[in-house]
Amino acid sequence: GQQVMQIPQYQHVQEGEDFTTYCNSSTTLSNIQWYKQRPGGHPVFLIQLVKSGEVKKQKRLTFQFGEAKKNSSLHITATQTTDVGTYFCAGPGNAGNMLTFGGGTRLMVKP
């Protein structure tokens, strides 16, 4: 079945440093979604990418969808302590509106 992998699993950064998480799918995706889960919280939708090679920005966050629509990345510029959490990518699965989530990248920021 479809697999969505994320690397790295964990990342410690100093506040102000940049951070990137990478997402790879075993199959071509029609779209990819990104979610953020704060410690003790629930996943919160960040963005959806649909087009091949698409790049979207949200303030310090830059999201990219690969040309082959099998990979994606999230880059955070100048991390802040408020960026702490686990970032998940998710692609459509085989049934209905289900999403297959990656394992997530847990970001820890040292002030």
Partner 1 sequence: DAGVTQSPTHLIKTRGQHVTLRCSPISGHKSVSWYQQVLGQGPQFIFQYYEKEERGRGNFPDRFSARQFPNYSSELNVNALLLGDSALYLCASSLRGPLYNSPLHFGNGTRLTVT
Binding residues for partner 1, rule: CB under 8 A, are 1, 4, 30-31, 33, 35, 41-45, 48, 88, 90, 92-93, 95-104
Half-sphere exposure of 30 (CA within 13 A, CB side): 7
To partner 1, the closest distance from the beta carbon of 97 in angstroms equals 5
For partner 1, the closer CB: 8 or 41:
41
Report in angstroms how near the CB of residue 16 gets to partner 1 at its nearest: 27
- Buried b / exposed e across 62-86, counting CB within 10 Å, b at 16+? ebbbbeebbbbbbbbeebeeebebb
CB of 78 to partner 1, least distance (A): 26
Which is closer to partner 1, CB of 9 or CB of 80?
9
- The C-alpha atoms of residue 62 and residue 101 are separated, in whole angstroms, by 19
Q: Which of residues 19 and 35 has its CB atom nearest to partner 1 in the complex?
A: 35
- And the tokens for 46? 């960040």
Helix (H) or strand (E) holding 18: none
Pairing, β 71-76 against β 19-25: antiparallel
Considering the complex, state which of residue 7 and residue 78 has its C-beta at the smaller distance from partner 1.
Answer: 7
Smallest distance from partner 1 to CB 104, Å:
5
